[in-house]
Amino acid sequence: MALNDEQVERYSRQILLPQVGGKGQEKLLAAKVLVVGAGGLGSPVAAYLAGAGVGTLGIVDSDAVELNNLHRQILYSSEDIGQKKAEAAKTRLLKINPTIDVISHVSRLTSENILEIIKDYDIVVDGSDNFPTRYLVNDACVLAKKTLVHGAFFRFEGQAMVIKPGEGPCYRCLFSEPPPPGAVPSCQEAGVLGALAGVIGLIQATETLKLILGIGESLVGKLIIFNSLEMNFRKVKVPKDKDCPVCGDNPTIIQLIDYAWFCGIKKESD
């Protein structure tokens, strides 16, 4: 796929990078990335992937834009309140880059639909904020052998890692089971610093671009933890758990499970 004059100009500052160049830009244009949740994490992820020229972006979210989203969900404005996030995000992303394809999935991921939704994408980026979705996405990506870029944040701290089935640990290698209901407060209950979502989302976007381009050192087998109050990053090695219930030597989870009964959190992208 040869770049046309408009594409050369649009992506010129990126193409100048020797690790990218024209060939790398062609890889980005051919890539297909699914962003789960168009909220605090999904907003910056999708915006920067669109700007970088990722050719096909899928956005999964069943929620509508609310006023309390706007302090951290940068794809939206006050005029979008009441609109479905996946549709409002698509409109905004096509304004950022009208030359890419954006596919909106206005639905909640379940054990019944997730494999069908993720099957056509190269990479899945998890921007959800609740444990039922987080575990479902992890399990589905392991079973489908899809690379997953994980991110999460809470109050003043956030984390990110890359899950590459067959090459490194998965989310369950860190936390084998979701916490019981009420054990961990949601963002609605505990609050969150809006700018923190941007930091973690941009780490996820950066990792996704590196994976597509095949450059640098990815966060496979590593968890990066950011503390915004102390302004420091820690990188922790995550070993693969041979007893992991989904990616271990003798997995016990061989079909998808819905965890909606955990935590009682209804929103998937706050």
> Between the CA atoms of 176, 181, 183 and 186, what dihedral angle is there, to the nearest 10 degrees?
100
Integer-rounded Cα radius of gyration of the chain: 18
The whole-number pLDDT of residue 32 equals: 98
Length in residues, the chain: 270
| Within-domain flag for 259 | no
Q: By CB neighbour count within 10 A (0-12 exposed, 13-18 middle, 19+ buried), where does 166 fall?
A: exposed
The whole-number pLDDT of residue 177 equals: 84
End-to-end CA distance of the chain: 38
- Domain limits at 61? 12-237
Answer yes or no: are the C-beta atoms of 93 and 75 closer than 8 Å. yes
Which one, of 227, 31, 60, lies nearest residue 128 by Cα? 60
Model pTM? 0.93
The torsion angles phi and psi of 155, rounded to 5 degrees, stand at 55, -100
The whole-number pLDDT of residue 269 equals: 40
Q: How many CA atoms lie within 13 A of 76 on its CB side?
A: 30
Q: How far apart are CA 89 and CA 229, in angstroms?
A: 30
H-type helices in 57-122, by residue range?
85-96, 114-118
- Predicted confidence (pLDDT) per residue in 19-44, tens digit: 999 999 999 999 999 999 999 999 99
- Predicted confidence (pLDDT) per residue in 126-165, tens digit: 999 889 999 999 999 999 999 999 999 999 999 999 999 9
The whole-number pLDDT of residue 268 equals: 38
The whole-number pLDDT of residue 2 equals: 84
| Within-domain flag for 1 | no
H/E element, 184: none
| Within-domain flag for 54 | yes
105 residue type, one letter? H
| Within-domain flag for 16 | yes
| Within-domain flag for 199 | yes
Answer yes or no: are the C-beta atoms of 244 and 177 closer than 8 Å. no
The rounded percent of the chain whose pLDDT value lies above 90 is 86
Number of domains forming the structure of the chain: 1
The residues pairing with 159 across neighbouring beta strands, listed in sequence order, are 152, 225
Least confident of 86-90, 136-140, 236-240, 251-255: 251-255
| Structural tokens at position 258 | 């819905």
Q: By CB neighbour count within 10 A (0-12 exposed, 13-18 middle, 19+ buried), where does 203 fall?
A: buried
Answer yes or no: are the C-beta atoms of 269 and 133 closer than 8 Å. no
8-state DSSP, 174? H
Q: How does residue 266 score in pLDDT terms, banded at 50, 70 and 90?
A: very low
Q: How does residue 74 score in pLDDT terms, banded at 50, 70 and 90?
A: very high
- Predicted confidence (pLDDT) per residue in 178-218, tens digit: 876 655 555 455 688 999 999 999 999 999 999 999 999 99
| Within-domain flag for 22 | yes
The torsion angles phi and psi of 193, rounded to 5 degrees, stand at -80, 120
The whole-number pLDDT of residue 267 equals: 40
The whole-number pLDDT of residue 60 equals: 98
The rounded percent of the chain whose pLDDT value lies above 70 is 91
| Within-domain flag for 255 | no
| Within-domain flag for 97 | yes
The residues pairing with 147 across neighbouring beta strands, listed in sequence order, are 123
CATH (domain of 203): 3.40.50.720
The torsion angles phi and psi of 93, rounded to 5 degrees, stand at -65, -35
- Predicted confidence (pLDDT) per residue in 215-232, tens digit: 999 999 999 999 999 999
The percent of the chain in helix, strand and coil, each rounded to the nearest 5, is 35, 20, 45
